[in-house]
Amino acid sequence: MFHDKYVDIIVSNIYEYYFMNNNQLLGWLQLIREVICAYIIFNKISDLFTAIYGYGPIGYIKKLYKSIASFFFPIIMSLPPIKSKIDKELNETIVKIEQELMKNDDNLLQFPQLPKSGLSSSDIEIELDKLKELKHNDWYNGRVSGAVYHGGDDLLKLQSDAYFKYSVANQLHPDVFPGVRKMEAEVVSMVLKIFNGTEGSCGSTTSGGTESLLLAGLSAREFGKKFKGINKPEVIAPITIHAGIEKACFYFGMKLHLVELDPKTFQVDIKKVRRLINKNTVLLCGSAPNYPHGVIDDIEELSKLAVRYKIPLHVDACLGSFIVSFLEKSKVHGDKQIPKFDFRLPGVTSISCDTHKYGFAPKGSSIIMYRNKILRQCQYYISSDWTGGMYGSPTLAGSRPGALMVGCWATLINFGEEGYKKSCFEIVSVSMKFKKCIKENEFLSKYLEIIGDPIGSVISFKIKDKYNYILGIYDLSDLLSKKGWHFATLQNPPALHFAFTRLTVPVINELIDDLIICTKESLEIEHENKNEKKKQGDTAALYGIAGSVHTAGIADQLIAAFLDTLYKV
Ligand SMILES: *Cc1c(COP(=O)(O)O)cnc(C)c1O
């Protein structure tokens, strides 16, 4: 009764306000306008509360500060006096980048345009050999982290033969190349079995991990749109997720929430993931393992969230590839329980695996797998009324290099299960030796600290917090470079990692010795410089620029300049 009375009063007030003094049409228009306004304001406020709830008040303020800073600093830095100073320094750095990257040689022929008449094959062979000899990081002797996943010289020969036989093949035309179709189907099936694919699971081959991640994102977006009506899609992933997921969100217009790590385990903080889930979430992500730290997220817990909230979960095993999937079978960790990360977990709906990493296939080869065909169909592009005929393509590319896929197929059946078990055992034995050494060597364990508890092929470490002031990790990296070792540099926190490959297995002792030597040397340099103003090494200077809010935007310009340099002749 009471209630009705108030409703009546409100209704009659509205009526009076909008319709008594106006003509009817104007009144309606005014009412509609205000309802729409109220709706928009309500949505904005509800978004705000969702964000504050998701990130927590402090996390939200940090995020806000960052976005305000990244809006204003570029404006401030475009002011003429500041800009000219920055441009000058930028140009100096760009010159350095060019010197570093554009290795050339007076002995080399130059081709800024097509030669008038073609060169003979034998002349080209000579040129190719000369180009191979340009000064570069020594990957062949195992001095480079990751980068080259070499399966042995015999395998290389096999892959080249496969390429030779199929170099004209195109997966776009299964009628012309039926053998290639069969091989691709078998590659997908073999990799699905390795990741314990279940009844109905499926996948496709792609050009690399990034394409696999793009497709996982696209499929999740389309799935959300089709089956849940989500048109403001959001993705939740750890800050350690590969940049390919950021790229997917950028390309396909999705909002990405990056979640902090649990400070103890360096795995994604599950509670924070849960708080960020909302009605627009189309995909959760985790890595097995991640690129920066080689740490496997707690996929079992992520899977539980995925099941509870009925949201797809992607596991990025691009890097884990044929290492993480063979940890159990190879028994490299003895009988120790290996946490689950694959289709055995009910919440996992897609997995990406790079066959061109620890599968040792030729570069340009990865697999995206799905729990069911509906998810795979969500990545397809179909155009039934195209003037060029009925068209459909399963992945991002149209034409696809069949030869690379054939190389992958030949590699998988050449290695076989035994081969991958063995390579996993050898590589992980060595990475564990490295980890143990940093943890237990009296000198190293004093200054360095392993990040998280990596059980695969990638080990990352940082300077212990209390020694941060006397030792710089980037300076250590520069010293190691001088000895020919190329570690990957990481940020937030500053750290280094080494991805062990078959090539690095034989040089593990040298690597450890040199790490000890360089750390000692680094300490001595710091000691000598104690009273002088310290001169930063190149790497430290670069990350100094990237890490500071005040220089936000400059790091981006440097990266763009680096990319431009790739195409300079
Ligand atoms: C290498 C890698 C990828 C994919 O990178 P591509 O260079 O496109 O092959 C994705 N995720 C992780 C963790 C990786 O290490």
- Tell me which residue of 495, 413, 486 sits closest to 158, measured CA to CA: 413
Residue 549 CA, ligand 1 centroid: distance in Å:
27
Q: What is the model's pLDDT at position 551?
A: 62
Identify the residue with better confidence: 3 or 347. Answer: 347
In contact, 300 and 345? CB cutoff 8 Å: yes
How far does residue 314's CA lie from ligand 1's centre (Å)?
Answer: 14
- From residue 211, give the alpha-carbon distance in Å to each of 37, 252, 312, 369, 377: 41, 13, 18, 12, 16
Alpha-carbon torsion angle 64, 67, 70, 72, nearest 10: -70
Distance CA 108, CA 122 (A): 15
The arithmetic mean of pLDDT across residues 93-112, rounded, is 84
Amino acid 552: pLDDT: 61
Give residue 557's pLDDT band: very low, low, confident or very high (50, 70, 90): confident
CA–centroid distance, 496 to ligand 1, in Å, is 17
Please give the pLDDT value at position 22.
67
Give 366 Cα–ligand 1 centroid separation in angstroms: 9
534 has pLDDT over 70: no
Taking residues 386-392, what's their average pLDDT?
Answer: 93
Q: Ligand 1: distance of its center to the CA of 88 in Å?
A: 35
User: What letter does residue 494 receive in the DSSP assignment?
Assistant: T
Identify the pLDDT of residue 374: 97
Residues 300-327 have pLDDT tens digits of: 999 999 999 999 999 999 999 999 999 9
User: Tokens standing for 496?
Assistant: 């280094």
Ligand 1 centroid, distance to 523 Cα (angstroms):
34
Given a cut of 70, is residue 550 above it in pLDDT?
no
CA of 355 to the centre of ligand 1 (A): 11
Pick the more confident residue, 488 or 553: 488
- Ligand 1 centre and the CA of 209: distance in Å? 5
How would residue 169 be classed by pLDDT, with cut points 50, 70 and 90? confident
Say how many residues make up the chain.
Answer: 569
Atom 9, ligand 1: residue with shortest CA distance = 209
Q: How many angstroms is it from 357 CA to the middle of ligand 1?
A: 9
Looking at per-residue pLDDT, the higher value among 353 and 16 belongs to 353
Residue whose CA is closest, atom 5 of ligand 1? Answer: 209
Strand (E) or helix (H) holding 489: strand 488-490
User: What average pLDDT score do residues 223-230 get?
Assistant: 97
Region 271-276: mean pLDDT is 96
pLDDT digits (tens, 9 = 90+) for 285-294: 999 999 999 9
211, 214, 246, 316: which to mutate for ligand 1, most atoms within 8 A of CB?
Answer: 316
For 406-441, write each residue's pLDDT tens digit.
999 999 999 999 999 999 999 999 999 999 999 998
Name the more confident of 49 and 529.
49
Q: Give the residue, out of 240, 242, 350, with the most ligand 1 atoms within 8 A of its beta carbon, to mutate for a pocket test.
A: 242
Nearest atom in ligand 1 to the alpha carbon of residue 289 is 13
pLDDT at res. 4: 74
Work out the average pLDDT over 150-165: 87
Ligand 1, atom 1, residue with closest C-alpha: 319
Report residue 530's pLDDT band, with 50, 70 and 90 as the boundaries.
low
Residue of 207, 210, 356 best suited for mutating to test ligand 1, as the one with most atoms within 8 Å of CB: 210
- Count other Cβ atoms within 10 Å, centred on residue 519: 20
What value does the mean pLDDT take over residues 159-185?
A: 91
Ligand 1 atom nearest 354 alpha carbon: 9
Confidence of residue 154 (pLDDT cuts 50, 70, 90): confident
Q: Write the residue with the smallest CA distance to atom 14 of ligand 1.
A: 319
Centroid of ligand 1 to alpha carbon of 318 (angstroms): 5
Nearest to 241 by CA among 315, 176, 312, 324: 315
Distance 481 CA to ligand 1 centre (A): 23
SS3 state of residue 323: helix
Ligand 1: distance of its center to the CA of 242 in Å?
Answer: 6
Residue 481 vs residue 104, higher pLDDT? 481
Residues with CB under 6 A from ligand 1: 208-210, 213, 242, 244, 287, 290-291, 316, 318-319, 354
The percentage of the chain sitting over the pLDDT mark of 90, rounded to a whole number, equals 58
The pTM (predicted TM-score) of the whole model is 0.89
Cα distance between residue 384 and residue 392, in whole Å: 8
pLDDT at 562: 86
Residue of 291, 324, 267 whose CA lies nearest to 489: 291
Residue 241 CA: nearest ligand 1 atom is 13
- At residue 355's C-alpha, the angle toward residues 353 and 357, to 5°, is 95
Q: Tell me the average pLDDT of the chain.
A: 89
Q: Which of 45-54, 89-98, 219-228, 543-552 has the lowest mean pLDDT?
A: 543-552
- The pLDDT value recorded for residue 359 is 94
Provide the pLDDT for residue 106: 78
Residue 363 predicted with pLDDT over 60: yes
d(CA 153, CA 145): 20
- Confidence band for 524, pLDDT divided at 50, 70 and 90: confident
Ligand 1 center–CA 77 separation, angstroms: 34
- Residue 466 burial (C-beta neighbours within 10 Å; 0-12, 13-18, 19+): exposed
pLDDT band at residue 103, thresholds of 50, 70 and 90?
Answer: confident
Nearest CA to ligand 1 atom 3: 209
Taking residues 131-152, report their average pLDDT: 78
Atom number, ligand 1, closest to the C-alpha of residue 366: 9
